[in-house]
Amino acid sequence: MKKALVLGASGGMGYAIVKELSARGIGVVAFARTKEKLEKLFNKDSNVTIFCGDIFSIADLQDAATGVDVIFHSANIPYPEWEEKLPVLVNNILTVAINEQSKLAIVDNIYAYGRCKGKKVKEDAEKSPHTKKGKIRLRLEKMIKESGVSALIAHFPDFYGPNAENSVLHYTLANVVQGKKSGFVGKQNVAREYIFTPDGAKAIVNLALDESAYGQNWNIPGNSVVTGEELIQTIRELTGYQKGLSTVSINMIRVLGLFNANMREVVEMFYLFEEPVVLDGQKYEAMIGPLPRTPYKEGLRQTIDYMKQDKEGGKKA
């Protein structure tokens, strides 16, 4: 791989993928909507070319993808737009991949697996999503596999990490860093897994560099399962935060949903906070090698340091 395109480069996983590719000396086109954010994130990186465009414009996608070997799709859109717009978006990406004869590496979530009854999920598990969003993700997976494009699909748990602002842990951390009263989404005694975005980026780039990885699904688990109580204790140790952290319950989300369409869509996914889906990474380790696994304390330290620096940079600007 000499050149790659990263869609959604200003988001948490997209940012991490751009940084990982660049660190390996691979030329990267970083694609997102907002020029100012792209410049802030990547203007000092000589391996990165920023491309400000509309993810729904096939002309913009085509221009950005000229001459790339692999397209990394890490872009996302608000939940209320998924049903109508995600199939259009994926179809456009597939069209451009065919035109450019590029491979495709997809950042996917765990929604299509549905309820898993406490068992670690392997890639060959039957996918029986019971939610609208899970069914949409499964439909998109079918589109990709029937397209003829050489593609790999990587399933990740919830993200956290530098610039990963659209995540449940960011909600907790943002208020902590600002010294405000914070909250934790879901029951604090339930063990779940989260993936540090630089670890996820390393894993998907490793897959994209391996010809045998294409045409397959891959599970990329986090470091381990961890309870909210354990995470909160680690956050306190790292920051000295002394205020209480309340539990954000499904009923609170329902109330917020009365005023916010995105929150209304979160309600059906709340089962993941009570019946976590835990990914089995044995296939990756058998075929690719050891999974990148940053301990939670170190991952949180790097994330908090990034947020503090970003906060200070915003004040100076």
235-267 pLDDT, tens digit per residue, is 999 999 999 899 998 888 888 777 777 788 888
Q: Return the CATH number of the domain spanning residue range 3-164+195-224+277-294.
A: 3.40.50.720
**Quick one: pLDDT band at residue 120, thresholds 50, 70, 90?**
very high
- Examine the pLDDT at 314 and tell me if it is beyond 70: no
Q: Residue 218, SS3?
A: strand
Per-residue confidence (pLDDT) for residue 313, from 0 to 100: 54
Phi–psi pair at 127, nearest 5 degrees: -95, 115
Per-residue confidence (pLDDT) for residue 266, from 0 to 100: 85
Q: Which residues face 226 on adjacent strands?
A: 192
Per-residue confidence (pLDDT) for residue 132, from 0 to 100: 95
- CA torsion sign, 148 to 211 to 164 to 19? negative
Least confident of 3-12, 253-262, 292-301: 253-262
- CA torsion sign, 133 to 135 to 137 to 143? negative
Count of other CB atoms within 10 angstroms of residue 89: 20
Q: How far apart are the first and last CA of the chain?
A: 37
pLDDT digits (tens, 9 = 90+) for 42-82: 988 999 999 999 999 999 999 999 999 999 999 999 999 99
Where does 138-251 show beta strands of DSSP type E? 151-155, 158-160, 182-185, 191-196, 217-219, 225-227, 245-248
- Examine the pLDDT at 118 and tell me if it is beyond 90: no
- Examine the pLDDT at 95 and tell me if it is beyond 70: yes
**Quick one: pLDDT band at residue 94, thresholds 50, 70, 90?**
very high
Q: Residue 27, SS3?
A: strand
Task: Find all residues with CB under 8 Å of 102, minimum gap 6, and list them.
Answer: 5, 65, 68, 69, 70, 71, 96
To which H or E segment does residue 120 belong?
A: strand 120-121
Per-residue confidence (pLDDT) for residue 264, from 0 to 100: 85
Per-residue confidence (pLDDT) for residue 69, from 0 to 100: 98
Q: Which residue has the tokens 């596999």?
A: 145
Q: Is 210 left (phi over 0), alpha (psi -120 to 50) or beta?
A: beta
To which H or E segment does residue 29 belong?
A: strand 27-32
Cα-based distances in Å from 53 to 6, 70, 77: 12, 18, 14
- Examine the pLDDT at 288 and tell me if it is beyond 50: yes
d(CA 11, CA 19): 12
Tell me if 277 sits within 8 A of 157, measured CB to CB. yes
To which H or E segment does residue 105 belong?
A: strand 103-108
Per-residue confidence (pLDDT) for residue 312, from 0 to 100: 64
- Full-model pTM: 0.95
Tell me if 224 sits within 8 A of 193, measured CB to CB. yes
Mean pLDDT of 194-207: 98
d(CA 224, CA 296): 9
Per-residue confidence (pLDDT) for residue 13, from 0 to 100: 97
- Examine the pLDDT at 317 and tell me if it is beyond 50: no
d(CA 260, CA 31): 28
User: How would you class 259 by CB atoms within 10 Å of its CB: exposed for 0-12, middle for 13-18, buried for 19 or more?
Assistant: exposed
- CA torsion sign, 292 to 192 to 306 to 10? positive
Mean pLDDT of 279-305: 97
- When the pLDDT of each residue in the chain is averaged and rounded to a whole number, the result is 93
Mean pLDDT of 90-113: 97
- CA torsion sign, 227 to 230 to 235 to 236? positive
d(CA 150, CA 161): 29
